[in-house]
């Protein structure tokens, strides 16, 4: 079986694990930015007066929210090269999958945030002579996002954990890097425990930040 | 679209030769009940082709079955453990509360996939030798048991938070009134707090139940041959990825639809008269 715990194996391979962590951070960052941008568009479409837009956005969100993330990753991993006609690399197909998937979840948060802005404010904006788009851009969205900061961050923590699922297509994120080292050096216990501790500390610090922001941003 | 791709929807209907021969042909709408009849009819035409090297239809059915079985067992664990932990977070004893809070923080802040690996690869090594040996060598279907336990404990942390929120949403006055009437603390929970809070939290419990079905796909990383695993396998065998993944995606959507329909019915049946209906959309 396993001998005594060998903490050295983690320290020896710290550079490999750090390389993996950078991929994890990159995935998280791109998916947050892309997800919030596209999610905002989806939310505005969902609340739009035009039935077609609202219908399309609604079906998009429903479809992604009822599909497992792993299946979405497989969809893009296998399908994007066929549609594009040439291999584009694992990283890009995974980035597309994460952005489109997270946009569905972000759009629901953003929609709730927009709906928390009271109608009289919109009426006031329109009465002042602003166009609908100006009202949305200068009155509704800034307040909505301020209300949403804690929820958006909570979703970012979930997203950070979700990026570990790229393991299924072998992209070398933090977990996959740890897995490769574990298999090579036959040190499964040490590396998986280390991975769990690192994820725990980062996510736990994130959740403390959320709690602080909730108190600060409460209007 | 400059896309080279051979569409062939019949691959998802491939069946084992003897089974295909046994089923008499039939047509019908592609509904859960009608699939086998439709497949039986189609398979007699198509199962001779090279692309039908494997009974892909049966793979999908077996994958769907495992997804449902694993999810339902995991939900039972999640509901039981989650209720205990959720109640513990509302008790007066500080060490009980702290223990329950630690449970929730621990299981919420580690990715599900990492937890899956911990349960499957690490836990048997840390247990006493005989127990570890039993888990690794003697227990039949170890991947499936591990996935059920892992999913159950992971989702229990979410259920616990909902149970706690449900209990905390009930005015303290009701607890005081119950205690003043001479009920013991367990009786207060059994007869006053839990019956109401479970009803309040049905909508979030529903979305979490759907989450278990989706998260059961993480089991494929330790070898659980559930729906997503089977569809990937078919995709790799046939390269008919669009057909296979479309069928799988539709099946997941159907699961979501069925669960939400059942839970809406349950919610209506258990609704407390005179209170505002929750989950209106």
pLDDT in tens, A82-141: 888 888 888 989 999 999 999 999 999 999 999 888 888 888 999 999 988 899 889 899
In the predicted model, is pLDDT for residue A1 greater than 50? Answer: no
Q: Would you state the pLDDT for residue B151?
A: 96
Question: Is residue B249 situated within a structural domain?
Answer: yes
| Cβ-based neighbours of B152, under 8 Å, separated by 6 or more | B73, B74, B75, B76, B77, B78, B81
pLDDT at A3: 56
Phi, psi of B194 (to 5 degrees): -65, -45
- Mean pLDDT, chain B, whole residue set: 84
Convert the pLDDT of each residue in B87-134 to its tens digit.
999 998 999 999 999 999 999 999 999 999 999 999 988 888 888 888
Q: CB contact, 8 Å: A188 with chain B?
A: yes
Q: Is B37 domain-assigned?
A: no
Tell me which chain A residue has its CA closest to the CA of residue B257. Answer: A66
Is residue A105 within 8 Å of residue A144, measured between CB atoms? no
User: What value does the mean pLDDT take over residues A215-219?
Assistant: 73
Residues spanned by the domain of B257:
54-270
Q: Would B5 be classed as within a structural domain? A: no
Q: Do A192 and B105 touch (CB under 8 A)?
A: no
- The alpha carbon of residue B114 is apart from the nearest alpha carbon of chain A, in Å, by 6
| pLDDT at res. B42 | 44
pLDDT at position B26: 41
Chain A positions in Cβ-Cβ contact with residue B103 (cut-off 8 Å)? none
Q: How far is CA B275 from the centre of its chain?
A: 30
- Domains of chain A (ranges; CATH) run 8-217 (1.10.3720.10)
pLDDT tens column, A58-89: 999 999 999 999 999 999 998 888 888 888 88
Q: How many domains, chain B?
A: 1
Is B157 touching A (CB cutoff 8 A)?
Answer: no
CATH code at B83? 1.10.3720.10
Question: Minimal CA–CA distance to A147: which of A50, A59, A213?
Answer: A213
Spell out which residues of chain B touch residue A79, defining contact as CB-CB under 8 Å: 241-242, 245
Q: Is residue B153 part of a domain?
A: yes
8 Å CB contact of A203 and B110 = yes
Our CA angle for B181, B184, B185, nearest 5°, is 115
pLDDT at position B241: 87
Q: pLDDT at position B17, please?
A: 67
Spans of chain B below 70 pLDDT: 1-3, 17-51, 276-281
Q: Looking at residue B25, what is its pLDDT? A: 44
Q: How far apart are CA B101 and CA B211, in angstroms?
A: 22
B276 in a structural domain: no
Q: Is B5 on the interface with A (CB under 8 A)?
A: yes
């Amino acid at each position: 079986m396993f001998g005594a715990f060998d903490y050295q194996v983690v320290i020896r391979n710290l550079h490999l694990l750090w390389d993996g962590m950078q991929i994890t951070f990159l995935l998280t960052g791109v998916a947050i930015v892309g997800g919030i941008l596209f999610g905002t568009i989806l939310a505005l479409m969902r609340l739009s007066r035009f039935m077609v837009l609202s219908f399309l956005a609604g079906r998009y969100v429903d479809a992604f929210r009822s599909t497992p993330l792993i299946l979405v990753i497989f969809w893009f991993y296998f399908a994007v090269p066929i549609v594009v006609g040439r291999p584009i690399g694992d990283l890009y197909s995974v980035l597309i999958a994460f952005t489109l998937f997270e946009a569905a979840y972000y759009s629901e948060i953003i929609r709730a945030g927009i709906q928390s802005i009271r109608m009289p404010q919109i009426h006031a904006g329109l009465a002042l002579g602003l166009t609908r788009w100006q009202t949305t851009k200068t009155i509704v969205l800034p307040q909505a996002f301020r209300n949403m900061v804690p929820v958006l961050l909570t979703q970012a923590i979930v997203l950070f954990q979700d990026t570990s699922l790229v393991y299924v297509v072998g992209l070398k994120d933090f977990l996959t890097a740890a897995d490769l080292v574990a298999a090579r050096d036959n040190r499964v216990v040490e590396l998986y425990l280390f991975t769990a501790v690192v994820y725990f500390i980062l996510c736990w610090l994130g959740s403390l930040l959320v709690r602080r922001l909730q108190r600060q941003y409460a209007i | 679209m400059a896309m080279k791709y051979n569409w062939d929807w019949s691959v998802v209907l491939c069946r084992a030769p003897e089974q295909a021969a046994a089923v008499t042909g039939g047509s019908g709408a592609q509904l859960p009940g009608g699939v086998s009849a439709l497949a039986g009819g189609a398979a007699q035409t198509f199962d001779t082709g090279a692309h039908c090297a494997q009974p892909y239809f049966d793979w999908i059915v077996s994958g769907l079955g495992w997804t449902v079985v694993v999810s339902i067992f995991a939900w039972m664990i999640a509901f039981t453990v989650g209720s205990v932990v959720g109640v513990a977070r509302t008790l007066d004893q500080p060490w009980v509360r702290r223990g329950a809070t630690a449970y929730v923080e621990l299981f919420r802040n580690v990715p599900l996939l990492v937890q899956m690996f911990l349960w499957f690869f690490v836990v048997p090594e840390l247990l006493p030798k005989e127990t570890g040996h039993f888990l690794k060598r003697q227990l039949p279907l170890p991947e499936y048991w591990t996935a059920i336990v892992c999913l159950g404990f992971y989702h229990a942390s979410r259920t616990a938070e909902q149970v706690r929120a449900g209990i905390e949403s009930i005015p303290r006055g009701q607890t005081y009134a119950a205690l003043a009437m001479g009920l013991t603390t367990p009786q207060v929970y059994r007869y006053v707090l839990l019956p109401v809070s479970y009803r309040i939290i049905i909508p979030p419990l529903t979305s979490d139940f759907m989450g278990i079905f989706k998260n059961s796909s993480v089991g494929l990383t330790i070898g659980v041959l559930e729906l997503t695993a089977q569809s990937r396998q078919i995709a790799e065998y046939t390269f008919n990825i669009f057909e296979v993944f479309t069928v799988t995606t539709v099946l997941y959507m159907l699961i979501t639809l069925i669960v939400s329909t059942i839970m809406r019915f349950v919610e209506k049946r258990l609704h407390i008269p005179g209170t505002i209906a929750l989950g209106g959309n």
